[in-house]
């Protein structure tokens, strides 16, 4: 199971997702360009002290990310887009251990090309008078459900929430 961030805009959300990925033992893919400088100092600050524990890969573009997926030795993983334009609630989806949960830019989501490349478009239902959740909150919800379904929490020990 992996998370992928498409051109993240907000370093604090990126930091929260680095921490989430590190704590839950999932890989994190960052598809650039980002809306902030993505140097090691800023990543460490945004991710607190979890940067060293995160399995983080950077891709210079959407094309580079897709090329990386095509050359992986593991079986082709499914790309699952979390989007307000999704056609299936995230809780009604059957996840697999090799899935990649893709999250779009906070300000604009993903372009049509990326939307079309997704194997599934999942939505987190929210009240009609609300637009969307914070990207880090959405990732935590969907990743939690995916790990629950696939037994991915087995390697984690009970911890404390801070």
Q: What is the pLDDT of residue 157?
A: 65
pLDDT for 124 equals 95
CB 39 within 8 A of CB 66: no
**C-alpha dihedral sign at 81, 86, 87, 91:** positive
Characterize 29-61 residue by residue with b for buried, 16 or more Cβ atoms within 10 angstroms of its Cβ, and e for exposed: bbbbebbeebeeeebeebbeebbeebebeebee
The reported pLDDT for the residue numbered 31 is 97
**Chain CA centroid to CA 94, Å:** 17
Per-residue tokens: 159: 């911890």
pLDDT of residue 10: 87
Residue stretches of the chain with pLDDT short of 70 = 38-48, 73-75, 154-162
For the segment 44-72, what is each residue's pLDDT rounded down to a tens digit?
A: 565 567 777 788 899 999 999 999 998 88
Q: Which of 23, 55, 21, 59 is nearest to 38 (CA)?
A: 59
Q: What residues contact residue 129 under an 8 Å CB cut-off, 6+ apart?
A: none
Say if pTM beats, i.e. exceeds, 0.85: yes
């Amino acid at each position: 199971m992996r998370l992928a961030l498409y051109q993240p805009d907000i370093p604090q959300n990126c930091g929260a997702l680095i921490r989430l990925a590190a704590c839950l033992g999932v890989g994190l893919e960052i598809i650039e360009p980002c809306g902030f400088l993505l140097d090691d100092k800023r990543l460490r600050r945004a991710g607190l002290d979890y940067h060293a524990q995160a399995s983080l890969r950077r891709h210079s573009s959407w094309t580079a990310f897709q090329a990386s997926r095509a050359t992986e030795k593991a079986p082709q993983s499914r790309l699952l887009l979390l989007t307000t334009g999704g056609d299936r609630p995230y809780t009604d989806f059957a996840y697999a251990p090799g899935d990649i949960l893709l999250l779009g830019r906070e300000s604009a989501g993903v372009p049509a090309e990326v939307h079309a490349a997704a194997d599934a478009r999942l939505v987190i239902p929210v009240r009609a008078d609300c637009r969307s959740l914070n990207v880090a909150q959405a990732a935590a919800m969907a990743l939690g459900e995916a790990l629950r379904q696939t037994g991915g929490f087995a390697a984690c020990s009970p911890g404390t929430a801070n």
